[in-house]
Every structure is written in structure tokens, then in C-alpha cells.
Amino acid sequence: MNLLVAQAQQIEAPEIDYGAIAPLLIVLGAACISVLLEALLPKHQRWAVQLVLTLVALVGAVGSLILYATSERPEQGVATLAGAIAVDSPSLFLWATLLVLGFGSVLLIADRSVEPGGAFVAQAAIRPGTVQDRAQATKTGMQTEVFPLTLFALGGMMTFVAANDLLTMFIALEVLSLPLYLLCGLARRRRLLSQEAAVKYFLLGAFASAFFLYGVALLYGYAGSVKLSAIATAAGGTDRSDTLLFAGFGLLVVGLLFKAAVGPFHAWTPDVYQGAPTPVTAFMAACTKVAAFGGILRVLTVAFENTQWEWRGVLYGVAVVSMVIGAILGLTQTDVKRMIAYSSVAHAGFLLIGSIALTPEGDAPGVSATMFYLLAYGFTTIAAFGIVSLVRNSDGEATHLSQWAGLAKRSPIVAATFTFLLLALAGIPLTSGFIGKFVVFSAAIDAGLTPLVVIALVASAVAAFFYLRVIVLMYFSDPAPDGPTVTVPGAFTTIAITLGAVVTLVLGLWPTFVLDWAGTGSFLS
């Protein structure tokens, strides 16, 4: 007993910079409260209370983030919680991105005007296809657990991009993944497809997590520490086993690339994007992308910057494969959600270009470029999925492309907005998509990746075809007689779509503010 007390006295509680991690604490705290509310509140009150709590938590988190970012803080950032979390400029930028994109996604998730009762099932436990299931399809309630799940996922994502050691990163990865697996399976319509998506995502995700963890173990064997900076120090000229380093790196990166939906680790993307409820797809497409690439950026620039010549060729190839798969398979898709999924694979390739744009001198011009791209892409995607959720027929969303024919005649505003978003995804000037591509490609050319940029440009041109095809369908084809109707969205979806479209336009015209902000500082190493 005495011995134990003596030991306990030796353990020093780590310094915690509460101001720095306040946004994270607010989101995770709200998630916990949300779970309690779910248990304590009567069913009919939950939706409203949960929604208010979630939105207030997100706004509060953004507020505390702004407070901290504008206060006197160390320029290179701080490592807190015994060095587990690094709050530096990129962390703050990515946190803000995640919170704002999360806000947009929550609006889509909360919407009950498009689909009576919301896009989520009333009772997930009822078996699909049974009498009870048909009965619940017409009920207006929904599983309000989606709100705490979303908050936990968001908290995990925020931890993931700020994690300063690989073990924290792994925990964060699981915290962000598990709620997402569940969320995928909660669609109100086409439940089997939704559950299939959830199982697929879970199984493949579990594999990826295992890869990641195995990579962490090998790297620990190599460096004797899971800290990113310790790995960097260890890799800087020692006689340790390179096998451990590169095997560990490879496995780690496979786990990260899986989460980021980079080809050839993209196989889950189209199925999951298609099967998941559309608001969740929007959340995954926007926020998971940000989190995964935030993690990739940090790992590559902090831990593996000085071994870049060994791995750059591999990721170079992965980027090419991802762009080619995304652009070419996207051509053959007939479903809007699958098409955007392949487009996201192509975009992941572009983002990877930015992530590996490190110069020999150790500069990382790609970091700020990639972060800008993530922000721009996230907003465009949320708005795009918001619109996908509006085009419906009697059995839910009409996602088959042929059903979109002649949409411009019936709903010119929806068609025009979607066209604008597609042009942004294609990277046409005066949209944020173009500025994003431009900054990423400039950074890559700076870092001597010109051939890769040329391949990326060709891939962009190929991908432009399938975006154009949708525009052709909407504008130049005659509407099908039994075509879908476009639901007039309620306030939540309208706000989410407007937010996405306006940001896409504003960042296309005046990107300076965000560019400056993204470029303010580098990762804490």
C-alpha cells in the first residue's frame, strides 16, 4: 500500500492547456451529455433538444477556437496532454474546417422536411422488409442517437488531426470510425442497402485499423516511441533497421489511405456512399476526408519528412492510381451518389499530391494548399449531397442519373446550383474547386512533381466529362414522364446548401483570406 502511494506521488499530472483544447472538450463533452439525454428524455422531446445541444456545442466550439486563435499563443503551437495533442496553426485550421463542415452536415442530418421524419430510421433494430418495418417507414420519428454519434465522430476527427503520437491517433481513428459505421446503417429507405454498406464499411475499416495498429507497433519497435517527433529523430541517421521503419510506414499509411478513400484503397467508397443516408454521406465525404488528410499531412511532414526520398515514389504511384481510378470509373457510373464517390476518389488523388509536395529543403508548400483544398472540397460536397437529397420519387431519393433528365425545366434553381457545384468539382475557374487545384498544383510544381501535375490535369479533364454529362442531362435532355419531383427543402437543408454554394463561390472569387489563414504556420514538430 505504501509503495503504491509512493509511486502515485511520483506521477506528475501533465500540464493541460485547457484554452487550447477547449473546442475538443466542448464537442466531446456535448457528445457525452447527448448520450445521457438520449437515456433520460422522453422520445418526443429528444429531437429538438438534441439538435439544439449539438448546434450550440458546435457554435461554442468555434467560438472558443476563435478566442484561442486570436489570443496570445505560441506561434509554433503547443503540445498539451503530455504531448499527446499538438495545437498548432494547422490543427486550428483543420478544427475550424471540421466544425463548420460538421455544422453543415448536422443541418442536413436534422432536416425533417425533405423526408417526413428525417432520413434516418425510426427504430434501427426492426428487421428490414417486415410488417413492422413498413409501418415504421411512415412514422415520423427517427433515431435521435445520430446526434451523439455525429458529435463523437467529429470529436474523434478533431483529435485525429491534432494527435501528436501514433497511439492517440489510433484511438482517435476508432472514435471517429465506430460512430460512422453505425450511422451508415441507419437509412430510413432502402434499409438493406444501407445495412450492407455499414457492414462493408465496418469490415474493411476494421482491417484498415488493424493495418494501422500493426504499423504503429513496428514503428515503435523502430523508434522506441510512438511520438511523431521521436520517429523523425530516430529516422534522422541511425543504424536501426530500415525494414522496421518502412514496413511500419507502409502499414500505417495503408490505414490512413483507406480512411481517406484514396485508390486503390477506395473499394468501400462507392458502396458506402450509395448505401448510407445522404446526410451521413455528406458528413463522411466532407469531414472524414478532412480528418484523414489532416492526419496524413501531419504524419508525413512531422514524422517522415526526412525519409521522403524513400517513400515519395510509392505515394506518387498511389496518387496516380487514385486519380486514374476515380476519373475513369466515374465515367461508367449511372448513380449520382456513386458518381460523386468516384469523384471523391479522384479528388483524394489530387489531395495526396498536395500532401507529398515536400521540398528537399524541408519546406512543405503542400500543407496549406491541401488544407485549403479540403475546406473548399468539403463545402462543395456538402451542398452537392444536399441537392441529391432533394430529388426524389415515391421510393425515396431518385439517384439514378436517367431520372435527372430535364431537371432544369422543372426546377431551374436546383439545377443551376447543382451545375455550379459540379463545375466546382471539375475545377472550373471562378469556383473554389479551381483555386484549390491551383494551389495544390503550384505547390507540387514547387516541390518538383511536374509530371504528376500533368497526369493530374489530364485526369481532371477526363473527370470533367462525367460532371458535364450530368449537366447535359439536366439541361439538354427532355424530362422523363414519370420523373422524380424536387422537394422544396426546409430551412435546414436550404441553409446547408446555401452555405456550401456560397462558400464555393466566395472562395473562387476571393480566396485570399482563407489562403492567408491556411498558410500562417506549420506543424509543431
Partner 1 sequence: MTWVLIALLVVPLVGALVVAFLRKDDKKAKLVALAFSLVELVLAVLLWTAYDPGGDRIQLATGVDWIPAFGVRLQFGIDGIALVMIAVIALLIPLVIGAGWTEKLPAGRSQGGYLSLILIQEAVTVAVFAATDVFLFYVLFEVMLIPMYFLIGGYGGARRQYAAVKFFLYSFLGGLIMLASAIGAYAMASDELGKGTFDWATLVTVVRDADSTTQTWLFLGFFLAFAIKAPLVPFHTWLPDAAAEAPIGVTVIVVGILDKVGTFGMLRYLLPMFPEASKNLAPFVLVLAVAGVLYGSLLATGQRDMKRFLAYVSIAHFGFIALGIFSFTSQAGVGSVSYMLNHSISTGMLILVVGMVIARGGSSLIADYGGMSKVAPLLAGMLLLAGLTTLSLPGTNSFVSEFLVLIGSFPTQPVFTIIATVGMVLAALYVLWLYQRIMTGPLRGDALVAAAAGPGAVGDPEKKTTIGDLTKREIAVLAPLVVIVLALGFYPQPVLDVITPTVGATLTEVGVTDPVTVQEGK
Q: Which residues bind partner 1 (CB under 8 A)?
A: 409, 423, 426, 428-430, 434-435, 438, 441-442, 445-446, 450, 453-454, 457-458, 460-461, 464-465, 468-469, 471-472, 475-477, 510-512, 515-516, 519
Give whichever of 126 and 428 is closer to partner 1, judged by the CB atom: 428
The total of other beta-carbon atoms located within 10 Å of residue 40's CB is: 9
Judged by beta carbon, residue 306 or residue 477, the one nearer partner 1 is 477
Question: Residue 469 Cβ, how far from partner 1 at the closest point, in Å?
Answer: 7
Contacts of 70 (CB under 8 A, 6+ apart): none
Which of helix, strand or coil describes residue 120? strand
**Cell for 221?**
519497435
The nearest distance, CB 465 to partner 1, in angstroms, is: 6
SS3 292: helix
Shortest Å, Cβ 25 to partner 1: 33
Q: Where are the alpha helices (DSSP H) in 332-406?
A: 336-355, 365-388
> In 78-180, at which residue ranges do the beta strands (DSSP E only) sit?
78-80, 85-87
Q: Quote the least distance from Cβ 371 to partner 1, whole Å.
A: 14
What CA–CA distance (Å, rounded) separates 87 from 83?
Answer: 10
Nearest alpha carbon to residue 209 among 247, 182, 172, 165: 172
Closest to 465 measured CA to CA, from 337, 285, 317, 342: 342
Min CB(400)–partner 1 separation in Å: 19
Q: Least distance in Å: CB of 511 to partner 1?
A: 6
Question: 482 exposed, middle or buried (CB, 10 Å; 0-12, 13-18, 19+)?
Answer: exposed
> Is the CB of residue 141 less than 8 Å from the CB of residue 115?
no
Which amino acid is it at 330? G
Give min distance, CB of 494 to partner 1, in A: 23
- Please identify, using beta-carbon distances, which residue of 314 and 445 lies nearer to partner 1: 445
334 or 512, CB closer to partner 1? 512
Q: In the numeric block, which cell numbers belong to residue 315?
A: 505515394
Among residues 33 and 428, whose Cβ is nearest to partner 1? 428
Cβ-based nearer residue to partner 1, 176 or 514: 514
In the complex, the smallest distance separating the C-beta of residue 504 from partner 1, rounded to whole angstroms, is 15
- Of the candidates 281, 338, 288, the one whose C-alpha atom is nearest the C-alpha of residue 120 is 281
Residue (25 or 428) nearer to partner 1, CB: 428
Q: Which is nearer to partner 1, 62 or 443 (CB)?
A: 443
In terms of CB distance, is 204 or 328 closer to partner 1? 328
In contact, 56 and 153? CB cutoff 8 Å: no
Cα torsion angle, 195, 198, 204, 210, sign: negative
End-to-end CA distance of the chain: 40
In whole angstroms, how close is the CB of 66 to partner 1 at the nearest point? 22
Beta-bridge partner residues of 79: 86
> Shortest gap between Cβ of 481 and partner 1 (angstroms)?
15
Do you find a cis peptide bond into 264, omega within 30 degrees of 0? yes
Nearest CA to 153 among 216, 120, 105?
A: 105
